A and B are shown apart, each in its own frame.
Chain A
Amino acid sequence: MNVQFLIGCYAVICLSMIAYNCFCIVFFRQRDEFVAHRSAAFRQLLADPDALSDPARRRRLSRRLRGANELLAFEDAMRAMRSAQPQTFAGCRPQAAELLRALVPVYARKPAMQQACFAHVLAEFGVPRLAPGEELFRFLFRLLQDSSLYCRENAMRALYASGRVDMVLQGLRVVDESETFYNMRLITEGLLAFDGDREALIAALWEALPGFRSGTQVAVLNFIRFGSGNWADPMLRLLRTTQDTEVTIACLRYFGRYPSAEALPLIRRFAQQGEEQWAVVAVAMTVLASYPGEETVELLKQGLYSRNWYVRSNAAESLSRLRADYQQLRDVLEGPDPYARQILRFQLEHAMTDEERRNAD
């Protein structure tokens, strides 16, 4: 009897869930329609140049935006306006930013999901840049310590959108000191979206670099690699002194993108390291593709005889990128080492296919 009762209870709960699901289907549909309707109303409102300058209307709007659905509708309307009427959007953006900044105390008390949503809206419309304020930045730094990845990510996006070097640096320090994992790819890509003076940001980050953990250092170095070619000298100094393999690799890659005659002897030295440092050697082999010359070709040919697959493969790829001619490679292509021969032959073929693909694009 007890068992039947238990099963009965389960069935009743499940039936309730079906009813709840059906209710949700209808409710969500209506809510989406409501958001679409509100978004249209906001679009109409924002089209009026005086809409946001009238204090009474602003107060009314501010009250409305305390609800997450209204905020979503507002965001939708702003985005639609940004793509359809860029000039009107530019005109009303500063006032909209002020309006959103005033909502910080309201959203600071809401659940994490809504806070992340609010941070996204702040980032999307550059609020921290247009309407900066101590309370706003305090809110964003607090979000950076939240366990939700989306809170942290959207808060960082808002900081990048601020265009403020000091704030981004402070944010990065918070992330670096936090015990919660934050993927370094997110940092690199995020820094690249920084909406301000990139060189100034790099200068500040470089100064702060020794204080960061290894993973953050690598993320920052990768950002510098994609961001600017003006950092060869300090990068070379770091390459000479660092003991960290990942940092060494990040520095080497920089010199692959921005060739430097001064760095070449050091790159060669890395390329000739022992098998135990295969990861560094493999990257050095790739980097050498940016340094044409007889000596480079000879070094890469030595790499073809390495016992490590990645070293051999990268050396062969670099030789194909350098377009070394048959005479230069003859001793390998006709030589006794089948591994060296095969990988080089393949990379030469592969380079041709790649070129055809690029031409097709």
Chain B
Amino acid sequence: MTDFFRSFLDCVNAFFIVYLVGYSTFLFLSVVVGSIDLYQSRQRARMRNTLWQSYYVPVSILVPAYNEEVTVVDTVRSLLALDYKLFEIIIMDDGSKDATSQVLIDAFDMVQVHRPIRQVVPCQPAVAVYEAKGTRVPVTLIRKRNGGKADSLNMGINCARYPYFICMDADSVLQYDSLERIVRPVLEDPNVVAVGGSVRPANGVVIKDGRVKRYRLPKNILAAMQALEYDRSFLAARILFDKFNGNLIISGAFGLFHKSTVIAVGGYDRGTMGEDMELVVKLHEFCRANHRPYRIRFASDAVCWSQAPERLRDLGKQRKRWHLGLFQCLWSHRRILANPSFGLVGVVSYVYFTLYELLSPFIELFGIVTIALSVAMDMLNLPFMLVFFAAYALYGMVLSLTAFFARMYTIDLRLSALDVLKAFLLCLFEVVFLRNYLAFIRMTAFIGYRKNRLNWGKLERKKLNQEE
């Protein structure tokens, strides 16, 4: 029995070594490539390597809203202040139970119009359509029957009049130059079908007319840890995937899409929680199946400021949704997994997301069970294990800090000494605490899956720019 268990442990050890070396290498590459890319972007901007005239691509900004009466007016106001020539704003109220529509109607002096809506992608019917009278750019509000976020976005696509659309959250603020920057890849390459923007936590940041007036790490520890996590996971990894057209996610909080291509793939999938990832994977699948040259890009300098949850419960809810969305998406497109006909998307991106995102909580659980069994069989080398965990924590911390500082100096944000100290401490705390908590959340994500499948997963909202 002991021999059998020893052989089993050897196999487990070998597996974890391969698994962790793979993960460490990925993290390492993503942070290094991300840092270099950010450095080059800054150099380009400094060296006046930019587009100077108003070369604008007309875009429709789609803002799905559900019970957003607290934030939606500010969001639309910030959009109206954007430094961009030709765009429209469409807000889709997905049958809110609060006064989301009414606050918009009052704030922007909207009137009801009898707008016919062309159903090119499926969605719940509209109840009423309103247009603003006193705004610089056209603002349309569509009150519709409740159908979920994907359904609302499909409604927005049906109403959008321009060839490109931007999806964003109703609690987010776009930086003043974000539209100009997110359309730049489209001007550079005619095959670009989608561009992901950079999402950053707005907690602790003072933004006026789309410009950052003051940046500091949030006072709320959970939000501050997410600020570091966003820089490492969102920014660095996406820049790496961008290098080989392998991004599988464009955040629902800020992304640009070529409308007719999205219509060709049937729009957003209304039966999934991760509609943003699902759409991007569908675009990969569609373009490759039709031998159509395409690019899905990531614009690290197009910034959207979004609220990060400040309570553990809200964070848990958010990550549960993300994990379930990931599962649904990866499962429904499983034929891409390790499929060489999808190029590096199938062989690298899909494998990474399956092994290190979807299955990681279960693999970690398996590791914990093995440790427990080893203790029971008196086969655990405790000092080595502690050293290994410490090294792993230190390594994670170093990577987070690398991504964080690279981000800071490349976007000209000034940090106080206190924030730098805070970043060091929080990195450790994030590796030791937050990561394990999130692993637990992801492990239990499937509990209540059917019941909450099409919920919006609302989090507590507060007005942006509020002093903490």
Residues of A within 8 A of B (CB): 3-4, 6-8, 10-11, 13-15, 17-18, 21-22, 24-25, 28, 68, 72, 75, 113-114, 116-117, 120-121, 148-150, 153-154, 157, 181, 183, 185-186, 189-190, 193, 309, 339, 342-343, 345-346, 349-350, 353, 356-357, 360-361
Known A14-B395, A14-B398; contact A21-B44, beta-carbon cutoff 8 A: no
Q: List 7 A-B contacts (CB under 8 A).
A: A3-B21, A14-B402, A21-B409, A185-B187, A189-B53, A349-B113, A353-B132
The answer on a CB contact under 8 Å between A353 and B113 is yes
Chain B 381-436 interface residues, beta-carbon cutoff 8 Å to A: 391, 394-395, 398-399, 401-402, 405-406, 408-409
The answer on a CB contact under 8 Å between B114 and A186 is no
The bracket for how many chain B residues form the interface is: 35 or more
- Residues of B with C-beta under 8 A to A149: 187-188
Nearest-CB distance from A40 to chain B (Å)?
Answer: 18
- Closest partner residue, chain A, to B387 (CB atom): A4
- Residues of A with C-beta under 8 A to B55: 183, 185-186, 189
| Residue from B35, B113, B188 in contact with A21 in the complex, judged by beta carbons closer than 8 Å | B35
The answer on a CB contact under 8 Å between B409 and A346 is no
Does B81 make an interface contact (CB < 8 A)?
no
Q: Measured between alpha carbons, how far is A189 from B54 in the docked complex, in Å? A: 8
Q: Measured between alpha carbons, how far is A149 from B111 in the docked complex, in Å? A: 44
A-B contact count (CB 8 A): 134
The answer on a CB contact under 8 Å between B408 and A25 is yes
Does B448 make an interface contact (CB < 8 A)?
no
The answer on a CB contact under 8 Å between A17 and B35 is yes
The answer on a CB contact under 8 Å between B52 and A339 is no
- Closest partner residue, chain A, to B394 (CB atom): A11
The answer on a CB contact under 8 Å between A10 and B28 is yes
The answer on a CB contact under 8 Å between A181 and B189 is yes
Known A25-B408, A113-B47, A353-B133; contact A10-B190, beta-carbon cutoff 8 A: no
Query: A18-B398, A113-B47, A116-B47 known; 6 other A-B pairs, CB under 8 Å?
Result: A11-B391, A17-B35, A113-B44, A183-B190, A193-B53, A360-B134
- Residues of B with C-beta under 8 A to A22: 405
- Residues of B with C-beta under 8 A to A360: 133-135
- Closest partner residue, chain A, to B129 (CB atom): A346
- Residues of A with C-beta under 8 A to B341: none
Nearest-CB distance from B104 to chain A (Å)?
Answer: 15
Nearest-CB distance from A161 to chain B (Å)?
Answer: 11
Q: Please provide the 4 A-B residue pairs with the shortest distance between their CB atoms, ordered closest to farther.
A: A21-B405, A150-B49, A342-B116, A117-B47
Nearest-CB distance from B258 to chain A (Å)?
Answer: 14
The answer on a CB contact under 8 Å between A25 and B50 is no
Q: Measured between alpha carbons, how far is A85 from B131 in the docked complex, in Å? A: 46
Q: Measured between alpha carbons, how far is A342 from B129 in the docked complex, in Å? A: 13
Q: Measured between alpha carbons, how far is A6 from B27 in the docked complex, in Å? A: 13
Known A189-B55, A350-B131; contact A14-B31, beta-carbon cutoff 8 A: yes
| Residue from B48, B54, B113 in contact with A117 in the complex, judged by beta carbons closer than 8 Å | B48
Known A11-B394, A342-B116, A353-B131; contact A116-B48, beta-carbon cutoff 8 A: yes
- Which of A17, A157, A193, A309 counts the most B-chain CB atoms under 10 A from its CB? A17
The answer on a CB contact under 8 Å between B35 and A120 is no
The answer on a CB contact under 8 Å between B394 and A117 is no
- Residues of A with C-beta under 8 A to B39: 24
Chain B 319-354 interface residues, beta-carbon cutoff 8 Å to A: none
Q: Measured between alpha carbons, how far is A190 from B187 in the docked complex, in Å? A: 14
| Residue from A24, A72, A342 in contact with B46 in the complex, judged by beta carbons closer than 8 Å | A72
- Residues of A with C-beta under 8 A to B134: 356-357, 360
- Residues of B with C-beta under 8 A to A350: 113, 115, 131
Known A18-B401, A18-B402; contact A7-B24, beta-carbon cutoff 8 A: yes
Q: Measured between alpha carbons, how far is A357 from B131 in the docked complex, in Å? A: 10
The answer on a CB contact under 8 Å between B118 and A10 is no
Chain B 432-446 interface residues, beta-carbon cutoff 8 Å to A: none
- Closest partner residue, chain B, to A153 (CB atom): B51
The answer on a CB contact under 8 Å between A6 and B21 is yes
| Residue from B114, B190, B391 in contact with A349 in the complex, judged by beta carbons closer than 8 Å | B114
Q: Measured between alpha carbons, how far is A356 from B132 in the docked complex, in Å? A: 10
- Residues of A with C-beta under 8 A to B56: 185
Known A6-B21, A113-B49; contact A11-B113, beta-carbon cutoff 8 A: no
